[in-house]
């Protein structure tokens, strides 16, 4: 498969609503999508040019990183706040990021940011700088905006940052100390940070930021009562802030062991950036069949946690299947665990496919499960990609689509935005303007998709530009996967499931499209569940994102249908 995009470049954008601009592009159009498009587990689709409210915001959970994975700094992933090198033990010479060193007389000449040195020196400097910025914002000081690059400063004002921060923390409770007690003192708040490089240096030599990949990637995590806030910052070759975004995550919970099953912490992938996962195995079962869980759009943790209630569809499915004698593997999405790795030319290979292929290889070689009975279960975007994954990975035995679609993702995004405009009750002039913007992007995406499928050379400005708030590169990579054509030719068993109360992937369009496409194929089973929403949890009838804020669990009926189908294949 062709790879699109040139030199990676970290995004220079933050949405005022504090959503993570994971796959947006800088360009002549504002990026409004929270992550790669479709955002089927996040709040309602946003209108062109509108701000995306925070939803399933879970990137960068340091507590889930592989403890052996290099970070480019002296901070070990998962280290508890308060250990040596953590907040409260900063050097009095630590930087402020405004060209002034902590403890330095403001009237003295500024030394400026550190731009060269050993990898450890640079990482340590920007780790401390990020800690300083995090504590400053916690106390209401947003002077870090003075360190924005010209491009970022033109897109994000101090007012935007204050608004983003306020929205990010409004439902988190108060900050807490190392001991878990609520504190109003920023200096006592539990914060830890890390810093690394896009191209980790080898040999321990000295160099500039440019020599180490052109960026320093840093993040700080602040502990609050309900969730943790993650501040991710990208520093450029001049030391200026070229990217910043805010996300939240639940505290790490760890593996579960019950009378019915045991969970094992595993690492998925290869190389430096391993992904933390959980292999859930039914007790007493000898090499049971195993289901690989593939997330929807956006940057999710291994449990696909969503909403302020912390609903965890993948944990529900994993535990429910284990109680029925079936193993599962679930893992963090790449840009959830390593949000600083995101580039503006991200593709579907980067976001999903490479890691899913690695997970299938892992299962095929793991002695606890039956490597000849690996089933791919994809939710939402994952369900759309499931046919491709089973075709490209011969170790698989079948696929399950939960709220997936054989239609293009661009079609679903278009439909979602039209629905959002209708629900917003805009006046006629506003709706006309937004509809024009939406239609322009839609037609450009359709032209790009058509060009890719015809084998045409796509102009660089189209690949790097923003369409539906996401790089053309992303759409180009998706265009190479014709889900409908692939599914039509598959001979492996397929199970297509859909919630009747799903307001993000439509039963009357997407589920119906599966039925029409696969009509008459004996290897396909279908099931529509009355009253279940996009998460396959009971709908409260509102059919909007507020449903995800209510505590819920995946329907036991859905889990039983999946288990029965696997055992019958």
Q: What one-character DSSP code corresponds to residue 351?
A: I
* Closest by CA position to 291, among listed 274, 278, 304, 301: 278
Separation of alpha carbons 347 and 308, rounded Å: 29
Which one is catalytic: 534, 539, 553, 555? Answer: 534
3-class state of residue 57 by DSSP: coil
Which one is catalytic: 42, 219, 380, 464? Answer: 380
* Closest by CA position to 408, among listed 266, 516, 505: 505
* Closest by CA position to 252, among listed 485, 17, 455, 80: 80
Which one is catalytic: 502, 510, 553, 555? Answer: 502
Task: Classify burial at 415, counting beta carbons within 10 Å of its beta carbon; exposed 0-12, middle 13-18, buried 19 or more.
Answer: middle
3-class state of residue 329 by DSSP: strand
Bridge partners (DSSP) listed for residue 78: none
319 catalytically annotated: no
Q: What one-character DSSP code corresponds to residue 553?
A: -
Separation of alpha carbons 104 and 361, rounded Å: 54
Tokens of 90: 């900063």
Could you tell me if 345 and 463 are in contact, meaning their C-beta atoms sit under 8 angstroms apart?
yes
Separation of alpha carbons 274 and 391, rounded Å: 24
The DSSP code sequence of 192-215 is: EEEEE-SS--STT-EEETGGGTS-
441 catalytically annotated: no
* Whole-Å CA distances, 37 to 21, 53, 381: 11, 14, 10
* Closest by CA position to 480, among listed 562, 381, 408: 408
Could you tell me if 37 and 448 are in contact, meaning their C-beta atoms sit under 8 angstroms apart?
no
**Catalytic residue ranges:** 380, 502, 534
């Amino acid at each position: 498969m062709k790879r699109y995009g040139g030199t990676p470049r970290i995004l220079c954008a933050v949405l005022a609503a504090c959503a993570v601009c994971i796959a947006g592009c800088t360009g002549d159009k504002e990026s409004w999508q929270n992550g790669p498009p479709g955002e089927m587990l996040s709040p309602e689709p946003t209108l062109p040019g509108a701000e995306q409210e925070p939803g399933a915001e879970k990137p960068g959970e340091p507590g889930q990183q592989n403890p052996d994975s290099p970070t480019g700094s002296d901070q070990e992933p998962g280290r508890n706040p308060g250990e040596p090198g953590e907040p409260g033990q900063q050097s009095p010479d630590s930087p402020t990021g405004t060209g002034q060193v902590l403890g330095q007389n403001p009237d003295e000449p500024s030394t400026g940011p550190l731009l060269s040195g050993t990898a450890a020196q640079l990482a340590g400097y920007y780790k401390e700088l990020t800690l300083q910025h995090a504590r400053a914002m916690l106390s209401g000081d947003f002077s870090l905006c003075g360190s924005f690059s010209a491009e970022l400063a033109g897109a994000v004002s101090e007012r935007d940052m204050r608004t983003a921060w306020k929205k990010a923390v409004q439902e988190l409770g108060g900050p807490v100390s190392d001991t878990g007690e609520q504190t109003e003192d920023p200096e006592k708040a539990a914060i830890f940070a890390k810093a690394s490089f896009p191209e980790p240096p080898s040999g321990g030599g000295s160099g500039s930021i440019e020599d180490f990949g052109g960026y320093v990637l840093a993040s700080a995590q602040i502990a609050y009562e309900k969730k943790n806030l993650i501040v991710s910052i990208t520093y450029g070759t001049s030391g200026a802030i070229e990217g910043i975004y805010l996300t939240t995550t639940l505290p790490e919970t760890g593996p579960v062991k019950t009378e019915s099953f045991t969970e094992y912490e595993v690492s998925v992938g290869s190389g430096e950036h391993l992904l933390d996962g959980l292999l859930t195995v039914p007790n007493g079962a000898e090499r049971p069949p195993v289901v690989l869980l593939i997330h929807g759009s956006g940057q999710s943790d291994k449990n696909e946690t969503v909403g302020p209630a912390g609903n965890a569809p993948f944990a529900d499915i994993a535990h429910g299947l284990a109680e029925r004698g079936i193993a599962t593997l679930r893992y963090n999405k790449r840009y959830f665990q390593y949000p600083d790795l995101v580039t503006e030319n991200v593709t579907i290979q980067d976001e999903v496919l490479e890691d899913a292929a690695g997970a299938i290889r892992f299962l095929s070689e793991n002695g606890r499960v039956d490597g000849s009975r690996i089933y791919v279960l994809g939710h939402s975007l994952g369900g759309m990609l499931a046919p491709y994954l089973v075709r490209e990975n011969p170790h698989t035995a079948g696929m399950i689509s939960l709220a997936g679609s054989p239609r293009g993702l661009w079609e679903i995004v278009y439909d979602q935005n039209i629905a959002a405009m209708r629900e917003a009750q805009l006046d006629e002039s506003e709706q006309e303007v937004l509809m024009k913007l939406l239609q322009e992007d839609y037609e450009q995406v359709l032209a790009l998709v058509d060009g890719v499928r015809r084998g045409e050379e796509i102009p660089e400005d189209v690949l790097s530009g923003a369409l539906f708030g996401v790089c053309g590169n992303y759409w180009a990579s998706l265009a190479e996967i014709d889900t409908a054509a692939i599914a039509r030719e598959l001979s492996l068993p397929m199970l297509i499931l859909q919630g009747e109360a799903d307001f993000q992937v439509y039963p009357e369009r997407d589920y119906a499209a599966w039925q029409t496409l696969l009509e008459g194929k004996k290897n396909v089973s279908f099931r529509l569940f009355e009253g279940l929403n996009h998460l396959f949890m009971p709908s409260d009838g509102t059919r909007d994102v507020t449903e995800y804020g209510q505590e819920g669990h995946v329907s036991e009926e859905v889990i039983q249908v999946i288990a029965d189908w696997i055992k019958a294949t």
